[in-house]
A and B are shown apart, each in its own frame.
Chain A
Amino acid sequence: GALVYQYPRRTICKSGTSMRMECQAVGFQATSVAWYRQSPQKTFELIALSTVNSAIKYEQNFTQEKFPISHPNLSFSSMTVLNAYLEDRGLYLCGATTGRDTEVFFGKGTRLTVV
């Protein structure tokens, strides 16, 4: 079956430092990978959508300078939170799809705590 793994599941970083998280697709080709953030008591905000061989599209309020994303192949994507501060804490979710109108598969998320 199709699965998405996210690493790490939980992480703590000091304010002002950076933290990298990974998303691994197993059993299907992740043509498109979307990264979301769920801040405490809030819904999931789309950060950016990455499609292999296309430019990464960032949503308003999110920038490549703050959340650089790599999507080098059809099974892997990573995102870094640069200079993390309190407002960056939350659950970061990646959702991957083949992009051919099939289901989007979500990982279990990386929970980021900033201290």
Chain B
Amino acid sequence: GEQVEQRPPHLSVREGDSAVITCTYTDPNSYYFFWYKQEPGASLQLLMKVFSSTEINEGQGFTVLLNKKDKRLSLNLTAAHPGDSAAYFCAVSAAGYQNFYFGKGTSLTVIP
């Protein structure tokens, strides 16, 4: 089945710096790509859903890049602030959402 590798497992940046989290996947049939944020003790909050046809997606304070050739998905927080401190998970799904595969997560700490 699909294998999703997420790096780094832990990331610490200063407020205002950028933070980049990367996932690689193995299934060429993967079609939907997701980034979730999980604050301590809470469930998943969807940050962005990316379709396979779109390579660059901009959200509120972050950019998601999809490179289908390299099977790589990245989340770039452009100017991190302490409220961004949380765990971030990527997830990958084939068409039809038959299965969701999560990365192992990245614990991000933003130092004021």
Contacts and interface: CB of A to CB of B under 8 A. Distances in A.
A95 B43 contact: no
Contacts of A109: 43
Interface in A52-78: none
Contacts of B46: 103, 106
Contact of A43 (B42, B97, B103): B103
A91 B44 CA distance: 11
Contact of B102 (A43, A49, A97, A107): A43
B89 A44 contact: yes
Interface residues of B, number: 19
A50 to B, nearest CB: 12
Interface in A13-46: 32, 34, 36, 42-46
Interface class of chain A by DSSP = strand
B97 A107 contact: no
A103 B51 CA distance: 11
Given A43-B104, A44-B89, A46-B101, A99 B96 contact: yes
Contacts of A95: 100
